Amino acid sequence: MSSIIRWEPAREMMTLREAMDRLFDDAFTRPLSLNNGNWSVPAVDMYQTDNEVVVKAALPGIKADEVQINVTGEVLTLKGETKHEEEKKEKAYHLREQRWGSFERSIVLPTEVVADKAKADFENGVLTITLPKAEEVKPKTISIKTK
């Protein structure tokens, strides 16, 4: 014989405070983009001006020579690898979120670019790639003749 349990919807609803607590707990205690201690997706911003496409990638703790940049067709790919610091046996880690290992990020560019004339600068952990737009996709100004 089974007993009947009264359903109380209020019991199953999460309070706003519980939802916020869970959100902050997830955001600050679980490392983002980590996979078995490795990381695979650097954060990227991309915008375009009339003449170029600019991509900024956050790569803290990475050296410029550890990053490879490729443009194939309309896809920009960032690859690299950071060396794993040797774990010290005398340390008892409570939290380990330092990024190490290989990473790769491919981004579809919004327009055709001239990859041969691209520039890449690396400063304070931010890689900035400037890709000139192909001449055929740059905006053209057409002058109007009056009679």
pLDDT tens digits for range 86-144: 666 667 777 766 667 788 889 999 999 999 999 999 999 899 999 999 888 777 778 88
Q: Label each residue of 94-138 as H, E or C.
A: CCCCCCEEEEEEEEECCCCECHHHCEEEEECCEEEEEEEECHHHC
Two structure tokens written together for 47:
């915008």
Write down the domain spans for the chain: 35-86+97-137
Q: Is the whole-model pTM more than 0.75?
A: no
Do the Cβ atoms of 134 and 113 come closer than 8 Å?
yes
CATH 2.60.40.790 at 35-86+97-137, yes or no: yes
Give the separation between CA 107 and CA 43, rounded to whole angstroms: 11
Mean model confidence pLDDT for the chain: 78
For 67-99, what is each residue's pLDDT tens digit? Answer: 999 999 889 999 988 776 666 666 777 776 666
Do the Cβ atoms of 135 and 50 come closer than 8 Å?
no
Residue 129: count other Cβ atoms within 10 Å of its Cβ.
23
